[in-house]
Amino acid sequence: MKIIQKYIAKEIFFVTSVGFFIFTFFLIMNSLFVMSDLLIKYGVDIINVTKLLLLLLPSTVAVTVPMAFLMGVLLTYSRLVQDNEFNGMQASGISVSTIAKPGIVLSIILTLLMVIFNNYVLSYANLTYQKVYYEIVKKRSSVMIQEHTFINDFDNYIFYIGSKDNKNDLLKDIIVFVKGKNDEKDPTKIIFAKTGQFISDEKSLRVELKLIDGIMQVTSFITPLKMNLISFDTNSLNLDIQALLQEHQNNQQDFKGSREMTAEELISELKKGKDSKHDRNNLLVELHKKLSIPFAVFIFAIVGIPLGLVARRGGRIAGIVISLALIFVYYVLLSIGSSYGYSGKMNHFLSVWLPNIAIGLIGLVFYVPIIFPDLYRKIIKHKGLKT
């Protein structure tokens, strides 16, 4: 029996590994396009681009491992049925539980590994990604500026950029809203410029936006009906990111959102109650995700083994189609549930664990004809259906 279990376990591992590389490749392709834009359009050096790509891998792995394991289990057990190996094993007196054991044991081991991976490796990678990206933005502020979008990432300024010439590092059709710190002494200003350009100095941590050929409209709350127009050939706005950088350097915790925290840190934030700067709904949803997503590996084994064993036609193609359908259902339910959980419209536990519960129930239903074949035949006969 041990030989048979090793035989099944090896095949599950092999098919899972192949599926893992295929799923990871396809999911990382979108990130490759984004990274190529940073490299080609924005002139970010290849070392930092490579760092960002590598730091994105853990978030992809967290998704592709459960997907690949489901395919590995389904294809392995469906092949045993198609090649009549399953029938031969049963004829030799080997129970279904013995045949299913390799898949269950592997799923438990992989679930535990993914709990550790998601809690520590993924959290660290997400945090480091934020830091590396922030350093890129510090050196090249134009990365933050996107076309046809209002940008308020800089204190006291709101930008709108009509278009960008990334090759010449030039901005066009610029609108800048300058928010006054003191309403009466420093009224709101609106600046329109035909072109502009970022000028940065790494040593002094200064970033300036040089505006060319534009006008400035200055209003006042005292005389709101009057507006002063000032034309200019060039005008420079100092985007003071030094204070912002210093704030992050003094307190690295500011980099951490709920997705960058470990389970211990999430619990610590929750204990702070109203003193926490983070949204409680986000903290609770992310805390449950630390366990629910890795647990999907075990749930996929629960549903994948019986589905593979009851498969009679279609072979590998059917296994792949069923795998993709289940994966689609799982992640749609997770996405919808998470959305409701983040907004507080749904119980945080249920919002994240609902996909596992739903898929797990499907798996238990398919176990009935395998573990209780006589009962299954009676049910089918009672319904008037053909077996």
Rg (CA), the chain: 29
Q: Comparing C-alpha atoms, which of 173, 171, 153, 167 is closest to residue 209? A: 171
Contact 248, 255 (CB under 8 A): yes
The CA-based dihedral angle spanning residues 88, 90, 92, 96, taken in that order and rounded to the nearest 10 degrees: 130
Separation of alpha carbons 253 and 256, rounded Å: 5
- For residue 285, pLDDT beyond 90: yes
Query: Per-residue pLDDT for 215 more than 50?
Result: yes
Retrieve residue 123's tokens.
């959290």
Q: Is the pLDDT of residue 247 over 50?
A: no
User: Which of 157, 170, 180 has its CA nearest to residue 241?
Assistant: 157
* Amino acid 248: pLDDT: 47
Q: Please answer whether residues 70 and 20 qualify as being in contact, where contact means their C-beta atoms are separated by less than 8 angstroms.
A: no
Dihedral angle, C-alpha 249, 252, 257, 260, nearest 10 °: 120
Read off the pLDDT band of 113 (50, 70, 90): very high
Q: Which regions of 179-272 does DSSP assign to beta strands (E)?
A: 189-201, 206-218, 228-239
Mean pLDDT for the chain? 80
Q: What pLDDT sits at residue 83?
A: 82
Q: Which phi and psi (to 5°) does residue 212 adopt? A: -125, 130
pLDDT for 235 equals: 86
Per-residue pLDDT tens digits for 332-365: 999 999 999 998 899 999 999 999 999 988 888 7
**Helix/strand/coil percent split, the chain, to 5:** 65, 15, 20
- For the cut 60, the answer to whether the pLDDT of residue 58 exceeds it is yes
More confident residue, 152 or 305: 305
Could you tell me the strand order of the sheet in which 206-218 lies? 150-151, 157-165, 170-178, 189-201, 206-218, 228-239
Bridge partners of 199, per DSSP, are 208
Q: Scanning the structure block, which residue is given the tokens 């959305």? A: 339
CA distance 112 to 103: 14
User: Quick one: DSSP state of residue 258?
Assistant: G
The residues pairing with 189 across neighbouring beta strands, listed in sequence order, are 178, 218
Rounded to whole angstroms, the Cα distance separating 199 from 219 reads 28
Mean pLDDT value of segment 257-282: 87
Which residue carries 């949204």 as its tokens?
A: 279
322 pLDDT band, cuts 50/70/90, is: confident
d(CA 254, CA 28): 28
Q: Of the segments 25-39, 59-73, 175-189, which one has the largest average pLDDT value?
A: 59-73
CA distance 366 to 310: 8
> CA 103, CA 368: separation in Å to the nearest integer?
18
Do residues 297 and 114 touch, judged by C-beta distance below 8 A? yes
Q: Are 361 and 329 in contact (CB under 8 A)?
A: no
